[in-house]
Amino acid sequence: MAPEVSQAVWDAMCQAWGNPSSSHPAGSKAKELIGSARQSLANMLGGRPEDIIFTSGGTEANNMVIHTACRHFHDSQRGTGNSQGIPHIVTSSVEHDSIRLPLEQLGKEGLAEATFVPVSPRSGQAEVDDVLAAIQPNTCLVSLMLANNETGVIMPVAELSQRVCALNRRRAAQGLPRILVHTDAAQMIGKGRVDVQELGVDYLTIVGHKFHGPRIGALYIRSPGTATPLHPMLFGGGQERSFRPGTENTPMIAGLGQAAELVNKNWEAYEAHMRDVRDYLEATLEASFGKQRIRFNSHFKGSKRLCNTCNFSILGPGLQGRRVLAHCKVLLASVGAACHSDKGDRVQSSCCQLHLLLKETVLGAAVTVPAPEGRLHGPGGRWHHQHWRTQVSHGSGVLPSGLADVRELHPPKYS
């Protein structure tokens, strides 16, 4: 967390310990902090405070959107005499598991259908025309991440929203259900401009720890309960206007608000610094491995990418994630995405994936090592440090020696 965020969390723990629903001074202080945080998130996104609902994290926010879309589909079918069957949802093939897995589960239970649109090998994006082509009469939701966590490619969400809005006007005349639009903005916030008015989405997922806040989240909904449906998954004390009941986690919400304040004031400086780090990292890696042994996988002509993400392949046989990590002593690392690290070297299409965090540097890196090549994805951090170039050079310099050690001790086996 950012130091200012840690301080905000601590201050709330010490000074706003009361239940926000209580009328005594400690409760009023907690309620005030929550309201301030809600306003800060709204300011960061160009929305209104009443459009922000706090959640436990991005997973809950994404599940709430899917739950709402399916519920709204059924509600809209009642009494029309024009049933469209079960709801259908369109998303991309590269979404976070908190989108993919709920949709797969609903499919297994026969409660919904889903289409997973592949990304284009030319642009790295889920193309708008491909997404629209997947829409069916019973489609009720389109969900497309704002930026991909592995490649850093920014998706055409604003264009998609515009096209779906026009499509919805035609569908309404045909008596077809409205298509809601959602974007998971976890990777984008804090690394570029995010404006809900420009994006035109109905829902946007916010994840605190992705912009140096605490590990909670929020959901933006365009006029929840009026212009845009929102159905709770939980029922209880009525907090968050009954959309997400449960006594509020005031310290974490206060921290999230402080993180949003920092982004709102400094995102342009953060973006410029992280781009400098990323570009220097890529130049250093190319110098270390040579142009013939390295391929940068995020460089798609015409597509924008996150300022903090570098995705590349190292050409060579016999590379295994855990073995490489064992020989990169200055790296703090886990195998797989952080949310999959307990599953070991997950092999998919002969590919082992691991995520690295360089120790005491401004860099984080995620490394994917398939055979016969190794694909690495590294996001740069936002903190300024006078020695960051030295640190980047040192961190990236560990990889060639680590790979050499692995090949010496575990030479590739050929059949």
Tokens 């309201």 locate to 35
Which sequence positions are flagged as catalytic? 339
What six digits make up the tokens of 84?
């469209």
d(C-alpha 44, C-alpha 251), whole Å: 19
List residues bridging with 224 in a β-sheet: 228
Q: Which residues, including other chains, have CB under 8 Å from residue 269's CB and lie 6 or more apart?
A: none
State the SS3 of the chain: CCHHHHHHHHHHHHHCCCCCCCCCHHHHHHHHHHHHHHHHHHHHHCCCHHHEEEECCHHHHHHHHHHHHHHHHHHHHCCCCCCCCCCEEEEECCCCHHHHHHHHHHHHCCCCEEEEECCCCCCCCCCHHHHHHCCCCCEEEEECCCECCCCCEECCHHHHHHHHHHHHHHHHHCCCCCCEEEEECCCCECCECCCHHHHCCCEEEEEHHHHCCCCCEEEEECCECCCECCCCCCCCCCCHHHCCCCCCCHHHHHHHHHHHHHHHHHHHHHHHHHHHHHHHHHHHHHHHHCCCCEEECCCCCCCCECCCEEEEEEECCCCCHHHHHHCCCCEEEECCCHHHHHHCCCECCCEEEEEEEECCCCEEEEEEEECCEEEEEEEECCCCCCCHHHHHHHHHHHHHHHHHHHHHHCCCCCC
Q: Please answer whether residues 152 and 309 qualify as being in contact, where contact means their C-beta atoms are separated by less than 8 angstroms.
A: yes
Q: Residues with Cβ < 8 Å from 14, sequence gap 6 or more? A: none
